[in-house]
């Protein structure tokens, strides 16, 4: 599944082509993805000016005067801005025609993505209760330390909890914990404030770097310009179970934590 850097890369790639444009027409080629697409959405978006495109967690919000189209890429979805005469491909599900003879097209082979509606001035239920953005000033070591008190769950599970902080998925949680020197199975409530400060710094650095490099290439994801991301080749632990640690040479351990494959160095992470 595309993680926060992939979604942010998509947002940045789309913004120059969408902001300031007006929606001419919306065509739905199916009525449901992960959830039903609101049937009134084409009418709600018709002739609306696009005021911006935002990211919240792994969701993209296409803002208009009357509200926001709420997108999620799911496991395999992609958004492209194309000439409006570009032939449809398999799994093209939604076209948003723009006023400059181009189209924002949503393709999703597995149909785990979504397209929903958030009226102006409201917060969609999917966005309620989410934690802070990891790159915001409100996310730091003090915050993590306070949120972790009394928690017996593993620190990796804690870090991936969207109510604690949004958008830190499996890849980046593993990499941040390695950089901070914290074993992923350590109970969240047993980690010191000082170590949480190192972890918050690691999360911010790794996510910012991944965004700068275009996200992590996954099997089903390429960035909006058609080029793969470049962060994958720099991964220290994710996907490297059984291989030598790049830092100390020890054999990397691998186990399932919270039903997600986790890899860590038993020597560098305590």
CA dihedral 205, 211, 216, 220 (to 10 degrees): 150
Taking the C-alpha atoms of residue 229 and residue 12, their distance in angstroms, rounded to an integer, is 14
Three-state SS annotation for 133-180: CCCCCCCCHHHHHHHHCCCCCEHHHHHCCCCCCCCCCHHHHHHHHHHH
Catalytic residue among 11, 55, 56, 58: 58
Measuring CA to CA, which residue among 12, 5, 16, 4 is closest to residue 229?
A: 5
CA distance 109 to 261: 24
Give the C-alpha separation, 107 to 84, whole Å.
15
22 marked as part of a ligand binding site = no
- Is 46 annotated as contributing to ligand binding? no
Nearest Cα residue to 135 out of 200, 181, 214: 200
Determine whether 54 is an active site residue.
Answer: no
* 3 is known as an active-site residue: yes
Is 2 in the active site?
A: yes
State the residue for tokens 């199916």.
Answer: 30
CB atoms within 10 A of CB 110: 14
58 included as an active-site residue: yes
Which of the following is catalytic: 34, 111, 260, 267?
Answer: 260
Residue 54 annotated as lining a ligand binding site? no
Catalytic residue among 2, 5, 134, 184: 2
Please give the annotated binding residues for DNA, written as ranges.
Answer: 91, 110, 151
Q: What residues are annotated to the active site?
A: 2-3, 58, 260
Please give the annotated binding residues, written as ranges.
Answer: 91, 110, 151
């Amino acid at each position: 599944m595309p993680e926060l850097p992939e979604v942010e890369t998509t947002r940045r790639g789309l913004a120059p082509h969408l902001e300031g444009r007006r929606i001419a027409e919306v065509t739905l080629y199916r009525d449901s993805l992960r959830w039903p697409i609101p049937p009134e959405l084409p009418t709600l978006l018709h002739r609306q000016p696009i005021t911006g495109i935002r990211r919240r967690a792994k969701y993209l919000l296409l803002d208009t005067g009357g509200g926001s189209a709420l997108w999620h890429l799911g496991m395999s979805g992609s958004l492209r801005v194309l000439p409006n005469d570009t032939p449809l491909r398999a799994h093209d599900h939604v076209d948003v025609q723009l006023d400059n003879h181009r189209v924002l097209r949503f393709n999703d082979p597995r149909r785990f993505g979504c397209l929903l509606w958030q009226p102006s001035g409201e917060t969609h239920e999917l966005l309620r209760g989410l934690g802070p953005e990891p790159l915001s000033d409100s996310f730091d070591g003090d915050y993590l330390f306070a949120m972790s008190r009394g928690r017996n769950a593993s620190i990796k599970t804690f870090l991936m909890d969207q109510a604690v902080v949004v958008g830190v998925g499996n890849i980046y949680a593993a990499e941040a914990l390695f950089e901070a020197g914290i074993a992923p199975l350590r109970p969240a409530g047993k980690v010191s404030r000082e170590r949480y400060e190192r972890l918050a710094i690691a999360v911010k650095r790794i996510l910012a770097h991944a965004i700068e490099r275009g996200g992590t290439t996954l099997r089903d994801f390429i960035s909006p310009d058609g080029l793969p991301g470049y962060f994958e080749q720099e991964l220290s632990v994710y996907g490297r179970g059984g291989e030598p640690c790049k830092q100390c040479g020890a054999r990397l351990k691998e186990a399932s934590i919270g039903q997600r494959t986790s890899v860590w160095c038993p020597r560098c992470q305590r």
